[in-house]
Structure 1
Amino acid sequence: MTRLSLLDLVPVTDTGTVAQSLAHAADLARHAEAVGFDRYWVAEHHGMEGIASAATAVVIAHVGQATSRIRIGAGGIMLPNSAPLQIAEQFGTLDALFPGRIDLGLGRAPGSDQRVAQALRRNLNSDANQFPNDVVELQSYFADDGRTGIRATPGAGARPQMWILGSSLFGAQLAAILGLPYAFASHFAPDALDQALAIYRRDFRPSAVLERPYAMAGFNVFAADTRAEAELIATSQQQSFVALRTGNPGRMRPPVEGYRATLPPAHAAILDHVLSASAIGTRDDVARGLAAFVARTGVDEVMVASAIYDHDARKRSVALTAEAMASLDRAAA
C-alpha cells in the first residue's frame, strides 16, 4: 500500500489575503484528514508574495489546532536559514502541542533569492559540510545527549519525525548515511529523481529511527469530475511556474482557458519539464497517473502538490485523488 500525503504552499490569490490563505490551509488539512491522507506539509519560502507559509512553524501550529489525527509538518524547513537550536525549540514546542504528529523535513536550499537570503541569515558564508553538521546538531538537541553542551527547552526529548529533502543527489546520500526517510521534490525538479532514489536505497544504513529505506516523491495532481475542468484548474499553477521561472513571481492567478497554447515555445518547454511528474484529469486519469509513477519509482509514499485557485475546486481535487489512490490499493489487494 502506497501512502498519500499533501503539500500545501498556502497560496495567496490575486484577490485574496494572507488571512484567507491561512484559513484555507486549516480547512484543507482538515479535509485531507477526513478523506484519508496520511500527512499534511507546508514549506518554508520567503519574500514571495504568493506564498503565505514563511513562518512555517506558526502555520503548522495553526493547522494542528484544526486537525486531530493527520501528521503535520514541514516539507520543509530550510536549515541554512536558522540555527539548529532555534529549530529544535520550535519543533520541540510543536511536538509538545501535538505529540506523535509532527514531521520535520530539512532542506539546504534558501527558499528565497540571494537578497532575501542575505536578510534572513546576515551572511551567506558556509562550507559544504555545514548542512550535514547542522542536521547532526539538530538530532543531538532532540536526543538530549549532551554533545552540544546546551539543553534545548523545548526540544530535549522531543520526537518529531525527521526527513531529508532534496532535488539532487546530495540529499539522497545524506539521508542514506544518517538512516533517515527521504523525500524528493519531483513535483518541480524531476531530473534526478530515479538516480537519487537508487542511491538512497543502495547506500542506506539502518538507524535507531529507521530499519530500511523509506522514500517519498512529489507529484502534481489536478483532478476534477471532467477532464476539461481539470485541465482548466491546472492553469493557475502552470502560470505560477512560468512566472517563477521567468523571474516574475507573484500571487496565484485565476485559470485561463487554453493557457498553454498562448505560450511561446521556450515557456511551453519550461512548463512541460517542471510538470512532467503530474496527472491532470478525472479520478480514473489520476489513478492511472499515480499507478505509473509508483510503478516507476517504487516510492513508499506520494506527496501530492495541488495548488488550485478556487478553494472548493482544490478540495474536490484532493478528495478525487484520495479516491484514486484507494482504487489502486483495492486493485492491489
Structure 2
Amino acid sequence: MAEGNSANKRKQIHDIPVSILDLAPIVKGGTAADSLHNTLDLAQHAENWGYNRFWLAEHHNMPGIASSATSVVIGYVAGGTKKIRVGSGGIMLPNHAPLVIAEQFGTLESLYPGRIDLGLGRAPGSDQFTSYALRRGLGSDGHNFPEQLNELRAYFNPELDSRPMRVRAIPGEGLNIPIWLLGSSGFSAQLAGQLGLPFAFASHFAPDYLLPALEIYRTNFRPSEVLDKPYVMVGVNAIAADTEEEARRLATSQEQQFLNLIRGRTGQLNPPVSSMDAIWNEHEKAVVRKQLSYSAIGNKDAVRDQLQHFIDITGADELIVAGTIYDHEARLRSYEIVAEVFKGN
C-alpha cells in the first residue's frame, strides 16, 4: 500500500521522488520518428539518473506532439528500459471505450509487470473535428467520467461492480495497475479523494486552481485499498542549464509554444531565440508568463531553490517535471541537472 504525506510537514527536495512528463515534442525540422527515438533515449537516461516514473500524454491533431498513440509509445519506452515506471499522464478517457483501455493497459502490465501506471484525464483534450474523427459519441464530453471510471476499474477488479460482468478484459482482469486521476480543476480532485486514489495536478500549464484543488483532494480523501493517506503528484516546468542565461534562452521555445496556443495556432517546437520581445506583445507576454508561472528555470542552484519553494507551498509527495526544450542534448542536460538537485548533489 502506497502512503502519502501530510501537507503540514515540510519536505526537503531530496526526500521526495521526481518523475518526468514527456510530451514527445516534434521540433521544427524534425520528424515524429526523431521525436520517438529521442523519447526513448531520454527515458533510458532518466532511468540511470534515478527518476521514478516516465509518463506520456495523449494529444491529437497536434503537429508538435508525437505521443497520440499513447499506449503504443508506453510499450516502446517500457520495452527499451528495465525498471523505471512508465505510464500515461494521461489517457483522456472520454476519447475511448473503457474496455479498450483496460485491454491495452492489461497487455502492457502483462508484458512489463509492476512497471505500468494508468493516469486518466477527464477533458476530451481535442477540438470538435478531432472528437468526431475519434468516433466519440455526442455524450462523450467528460460529464460521465465517473461512470466510465467505474466501468474501467471493474474490468480490472470485477468485485467493484455488483452486476455480473458479461464482458471481461483479457488481459486486464485481476491485474494491479495503479490508476491515477489527473486534473486542472476541482472535479477530479474531489473524485480522486472520494475514491482514495492518487491525484496529479497539471500546474505546469494550468496554475490557477492548484492550491484549491489540492485542498479539495485532501479534505475529501477517504482511505482505500489503494492508499491509506492522500498522495499528490504535482506538475512543474523545469528547464535547467549550466548558466542562468542559457536556461532562459532554452525556455523561449516553450514560451513560443504557449504563445502559439493562445493565438490559436499549432505547430512544431521552434528553436530558442535570444529575446521574445519582438515576438509577443505585452498582453501576450503576461498571459504566457501566467500560464507558465509554476516553472523552475535557471542554473542548478536557482532550480533547486525554485523547486523547493514549490514543494513548500504544495506539500507535494512527488513532483513530475516537464522540460520542453528544442535541442535534445540540452534537454538531456536539463533533466540531468534536475536529477542531481533531487539527489542533493
Give the TM-score, by structure 1 length: 0.96
Q: Partner of 1:215 in structure 2?
A: 232
Residue 33 (structure 2) pairs with residue 19 (structure 1): yes
The alpha-carbon deviation at position 170 of structure 1 amounts to 0.3
**Matched residue type, 1:181:** P
Q: Aligned with 1:270: secondary structure?
A: helix
Q: Does 1:41 align with 2:41?
A: no
- Residue 53 of structure 1 is matched in structure 2 by 67
Cα deviation, residue 273, structure 1 = 0.7
Q: How far has the Cα of 1:127 moved from its partner?
A: 7.5
- Percentage identity across paired residues of the two chains: 54
Give structure 1 regions of 4+ aligned residues with deviation exceeding 2 angstroms.
121-124, 126-129, 144-149
Give the 3 Å change call, closer, same or farther, for CA 11–174 of structure 1 in structure 2. same
Alignment gaps of 5+ in structure 1: none
> 1:274 & 1:161 partners in 2: Cα distance?
29
The equivalent position to 2:196 in structure 1, one of 174, 179, 201, is 179
Unaligned runs of 5+ in 2: 1-14
Give the corresponding residue for 2:147.
Answer: 133
Superposition pairs of residues 271-282 of structure 1, within 5 angstroms: 271-282=288-299
**Structure 1 position 122, deviation (Å):** 3.8
Aligned length: 328
For residue 312 of structure 1, the aligned residue among 314, 324, 329 is 329
RMSD: 1.3
What one-letter code is carried by the residue in structure 1 that aligns with 2:244?
R
1:200-229 deviation digits (Å, cap 9, x = unpaired): 011101111111100011100010000111
What is the distance in 2 between the residues matched to 1:262 and 1:127? Answer: 35
Looking at both structures, which has the greater relative contact order when contacts are Cα pairs under 8 Å and sequence separation is at least 6?
2
Q: Is the 8 A contact 2:124 2:142 kept in 1?
A: no
2-structure distance, mates of 1:26, 1:260: 35
Q: What does the per-residue CA deviation read over 1:222-252, in whole Å, with 9 as the maximum and x for residues that have no partner?
A: 1000011101111111111110121011000
Alignment of 1:53-92 (within 5 A): 53-92=67-106
Query: Is 1:204 the counterpart of 2:221 in the alignment?
Result: yes
149, 162, 168: which one aligns with 2:185: 168
Query: In 2, Cα distance between the equivalents of 1:275 and 1:268?
Result: 11
The offset of 1:128, in angstroms, is 6.6
The TM-score normalised by the length of structure 2 is: 0.93
Correspondence for 1:152: 169
| Aligned counterparts of 1:305 and 1:128: Cα–Cα separation in 2 | 25
Q: Distance in 2 between matches of 1:272 and 1:127?
A: 29
1:104 to 94, 114, 118: 118
Counterpart CA distance in 1 for 2:198 and 2:156 is 17
Equivalent AA in structure 2 for residue 289 of structure 1: Q
Partner amino acid, structure 1, of 2:190? Q
| C-alpha distance in 1 between matches for 2:148 and 2:306 | 37
Indicate conservation of the 8 Å contact 1:4/1:325, yes or no.
Answer: yes
Q: Which residue identity lines up with residue 134 of structure 2 in the other structure?
A: L
Aligned residue identity for 1:208: E
